[in-house]
């Protein structure tokens, strides 16, 4: 028999989590204005809100914290991080930032101007936020297959080259400062981009003289999928694949809270000295001196170690296969999900789950609330609330997909937790016909409203 994959680690320290009663949860979610971001973590049993900064660091990473060099300038921790970025990702220049969106803020302060157009594959919400905040627009060129959860495609994060070429050709009057490729593509379901697609996008960008920037939060999970699914990569190591992937980028932004397995941190990688120098000015304004940019020395050390651990095959296998385990349990119960399963999360298709709920009732948010009430499991809405209003018309945007995302923190939960989550969601599924109304908005922020929105039951 083939031996099953098993976690390539054992547990050295544990943190207690508590179960609650349905009655308690009814009260708590009401107090939270039906926004799961407003819940206290102690009111949650299994927290799948995000995989961002919620992973478990290794003993080696914790040891690195003790070796942190907190010098203001030129700390050894800065050089440790610089070496890791050079060795693993291949970038000569980098700037630390306090997290991924700070990397976007610094880089886009140089690159993005009013009326610019930035094509990409379903830009992440903070990325789109930073583009629209500068009165520029993000154009989604993801392949159509990504938007149909019933179609199987190995690389649903891919950019449609015809759509991209059309944008590049049609908008020659507008400035296009860069193409952003998000690996893996968070908004379309943690779906990978193939090596061939990365190569083709880069070739097209060069033809038009445009920069390619990778939004790289889950680059290692992307490399794992390339190894598993793309012909010619089976025998390559993750680190070899990662190197080749980044050879098709001019720069990168990174939220280290994902695949670098730290609780806080980010950076920008550059090939070009000139762009690095221009961005350095904004790092100093927004983040801090260029050798720490919003990070402590100890955190830079843990990040460097995390980049190495996060690009090891046994770790990635247990990580991605745990996500698939949750997905397959849900499939057994008939719960409709986005397939193939993504690298960091399972995306439940809320429209297929609750087909009779009108979109104005915020279908995925309603499902997130129901799952919390059922089992104290916290997921997150990726749907109309996250999509914000159209910046020009101020109308609600209703995206094609209404998803409930269940994101798995790295090295944090066991498969027993996955079973618990699957049964909780199956229970909601079995009483789905009783769910006939959702929520309406009471208060919202003008941009990125999902974090603070206040809702009431209809």
Which residues of this protein are in contact with ligand PLP, per CB under 6 A? 52, 99-101, 124, 126-127, 182, 186, 215, 217, 255, 257-258, 266
Kindly tell me which of 213 and 335 has the beta carbon lying closer to ligand PLP. Answer: 213
Q: How far is the CB of 101 from ligand PLP (least distance, A)?
A: 3
Kindly tell me which of 261 and 439 has the beta carbon lying closer to ligand PLP. Answer: 261
Of all residues in the shown chain, the one whose CB is closest to ligand PLP is 100
Report CA-CA distances (Å) from 266 to 131, 261, 287, 364, 415: 18, 11, 11, 29, 29
Helices 195-208 and 238-246 pack at an angle, to 10 degrees, of: 20
Question: Residue 409 in contact with residue 56, Cβ under 8 Å?
Answer: yes
Q: Is 258 a catalytic residue?
A: yes
Q: How far is the CB of 268 from ligand PLP (least distance, A)?
A: 12
Kindly tell me which of 127 and 366 has the beta carbon lying closer to ligand PLP. Answer: 127
Question: Which of 215, 259, 349, 388 is the catalytic position?
Answer: 215
Q: Which of 386, 388, 377 is nearest to 421 (CA)?
A: 377
Q: Is 362 a catalytic residue?
A: no
Q: Is 215 a catalytic residue?
A: yes
Kindly tell me which of 266 and 383 has the beta carbon lying closer to ligand PLP. Answer: 266
Question: Which of 45, 124, 214, 315 is the catalytic position?
Answer: 124
Q: Is 72 a catalytic residue?
A: yes
Q: How far is the CB of 68 from ligand PLP (least distance, A)?
A: 20
State whether residue 442 is helix, strand or coil.
Answer: strand
Q: Which of 264, 297, 311 is nearest to 53 (CA)?
A: 264
Beta-sheet strand order (sheet of 403-407): 345-349, 403-407, 380-382
Q: Is 345 a catalytic residue?
A: no
Residues 6+ apart with CB under 8 A from 119: 138, 139, 140, 141, 159, 164, 167, 168, 176, 179, 180
Question: Which of 47, 51, 116, 125 is the catalytic position?
Answer: 125
Handedness of CA 289, 293, 299, 301 (dihedral sign): negative
Kindly tell me which of 107 and 435 has the beta carbon lying closer to ligand PLP. Answer: 107
Question: Which of 128, 156, 257, 258 is the catalytic position?
Answer: 258
Question: Which of 6, 59, 72, 203 is the catalytic position?
Answer: 72
Question: Residue 361 in contact with residue 439, Cβ under 8 Å?
Answer: yes
Q: What is the DSSP letter of 216?
A: -
Q: How far is the CB of 218 from ligand PLP (least distance, A)?
A: 7
Q: Is 124 a catalytic residue?
A: yes
Q: Is 128 a catalytic residue?
A: no
Q: How far is the CB of 260 from ligand PLP (least distance, A)?
A: 10
Residues 6+ apart with CB under 8 A from 297: 68, 69, 70, 71, 75, 76, 77, 78
- Residues catalogued as catalytic: 72, 124-125, 215, 217, 258, 450
């Amino acid at each position: 028999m083939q031996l099953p994959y098993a976690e390539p680690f054992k547990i050295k320290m544990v943190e207690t989590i508590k179960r609650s009663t349905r009655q308690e949860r009814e009260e708590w979610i009401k107090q939270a204005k039906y926004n799961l971001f407003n819940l206290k973590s102690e009111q949650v049993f299994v927290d799948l809100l995000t995989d961002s900064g919620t992973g478990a660091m290794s003993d080696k990473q914790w040891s690195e914290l003790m070796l942190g060099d907190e010098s203001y300038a030129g700390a050894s921790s800065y050089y440790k991080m610089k070496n890791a970025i050079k060795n693993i990702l291949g970038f000569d220049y980098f700037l630390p930032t306090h997290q991924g969106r700070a990397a976007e803020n610094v880089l886009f302060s140089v690159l993005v101007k009013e009326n610019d157009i930035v094509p990409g594959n379903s830009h992440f919400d903070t990325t789109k936020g930073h583009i629209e905040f500068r009165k520029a627009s993000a154009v989604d060129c993801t392949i159509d297959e990504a938007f149909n959860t019933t179609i199987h495609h190995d690389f649903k994060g891919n950019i449609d080259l015809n759509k991209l070429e059309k944008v590049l050709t049609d908008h020659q009057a507008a400035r296009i400062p860069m193409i952003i490729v998000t690996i893996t593509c968070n908004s379309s379901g943690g779906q990978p981009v193939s090596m061939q697609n990365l190569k083709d996008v880069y070739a097209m960008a060069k033809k038009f003289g445009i920069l390619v920037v990778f939004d790289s939060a889950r680059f290692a999970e992307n490399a794992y999928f390339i190894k598993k699914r793309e012909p010619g990569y089976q025998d390559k190591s993750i680190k070899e694949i990662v190197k080749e992937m980044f050879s098709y980028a001019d720069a990168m932004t990174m939220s280290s809270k994902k695949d670098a397995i730290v609780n806080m941190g980010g950076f920008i990688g550059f090939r070009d000295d000139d762009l690095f120098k221009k961005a350095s000015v904004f790092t100093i304004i927004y983040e801090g001196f260029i050798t720490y940019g919003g990070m402590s020395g100890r955190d830079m050390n843990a990040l460097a170690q995390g980049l190495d651990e996060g690009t090891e095959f046994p770790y990635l296998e247990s990580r991605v296969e745990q996500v698939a385990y949750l997905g397959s349990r849900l499939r057994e119960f008939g719960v409709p999900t986005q397939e193939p399963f993504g690298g960091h999360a399972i995306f439940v298709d809320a429209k297929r789950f609750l087909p009779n709920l009108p979109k104005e009732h915020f279908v995925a948010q309603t499902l997130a609330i129901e799952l919390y009430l059922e089992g104290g499991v916290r997921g997150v809405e990726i749907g109309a609330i996250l999509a914000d209003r159209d910046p020009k018309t101020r109308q609600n945007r209703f995206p094609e997909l209404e998803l409930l995302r269940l994101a798995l923190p790295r090295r944090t939960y066991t498969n027993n937790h996955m079973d618990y989550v699957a049964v909780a969601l199956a229970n909601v599924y079995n009483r789905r016909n009783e769910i006939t109304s959702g929520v309406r908005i009471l208060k919202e922020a003008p941009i990125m409203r999902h974090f603070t929105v206040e809702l009431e039951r209809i």
